[in-house]
Structure 1
């Protein structure tokens, strides 16, 4: 096995685990709404999840490990990626916020602050801010 194959395999595994974690969040209320299903379908496509893996993950999402980011900056990077995906999908505004709030809680943000973090994340993404500006904007949103 070449080094590039090793990285490709590890990248695909990380994408599958990341997708499974997002499915787990979507299932946290026991139901995947139509909007969430459509988002998951598009996300699977973007993460290059095969149809076989997609079906397996949807059926048994709990068998995949959850590897939440440990550092605050890594959580903000994931939030940035998720906020961009949610915003690009043009989901109805309230449904968009609901989905992103679930992701925020799963990333380890305190539930009391999730509404404010979600609103700020979507605002920063809609303004076209890059990662560094996004992180700075979230870190300094109360100032």
Structure 2
């Protein structure tokens, strides 16, 4: 097995874990809206999730670990995508925010800062900040 195969496999496991987190957020309020379904389909394609994997993850997202990336910016980008899912229906429900905080800790953000980071993430996405602005703002909040 080539090194590239190992990396690809590890990368795909991270993508599956991230997709499972997005599904958990979408399902947190007990239903998946049409907007959430559209975002899940787009996210699945972007993360190279096969149709079979999509179905398995959609039915049982708890089965898949978070598998956070090592790169700090990539972890922030994952937080950005999760935040977009939370706000897809225009509001951040308490159950979704609570789950987001747990996932943020799983993405290796400090337990002490997870609440502040998630609150800022919601504020940034709600105000249509782009990914680059989001990354820079989250880095500032994570240092305070």
Q: Give the structure-2-normalised TM-score.
A: 0.66
In structure 2, C-alpha distance between the alignment counterparts of 1:19 and 1:84, rounded to whole Å: 10
For the pair shown, which has the larger CA radius of gyration, 1 or 2? 1
Corresponding residue for residue 138 of structure 1: 141
Q: Deviations over 1:21-67 (max 9, x none)?
A: 22122222221122111111110010010111111111222221234
The RMSD of aligned alpha carbons is 3.7
Corresponding residue for residue 130 of structure 2: 126
Gapped regions of structure 2 (runs ≥ 5): 106-113
Q: How do 1:57-68 and structure 2 match up within 5 A? A: 57-67=57-67
Which gives a bigger RCO, structure 1 or 2 (Cα 8 Å, sep 6+)?
A: 2
Question: Quick one: structure 1 residues 27 and 10, their matched pair in 2 at CA, closer, same or farther if it must change by over 3 Å?
Answer: same
Contact 1:39 1:86 in 2 (8 A): no
Question: Quick one: structure 1 residues 16 and 116, their matched pair in 2 at CA, closer, same or farther if it must change by over 3 Å?
Answer: closer
In structure 2, C-alpha distance between the alignment counterparts of 1:26 and 1:140, rounded to whole Å: 29
Gapped regions of structure 1 (runs ≥ 5): none
Give, in angstroms, the shift of residue 135 of structure 1: 3.4
Q: Give the structure-1-normalised TM-score.
A: 0.66
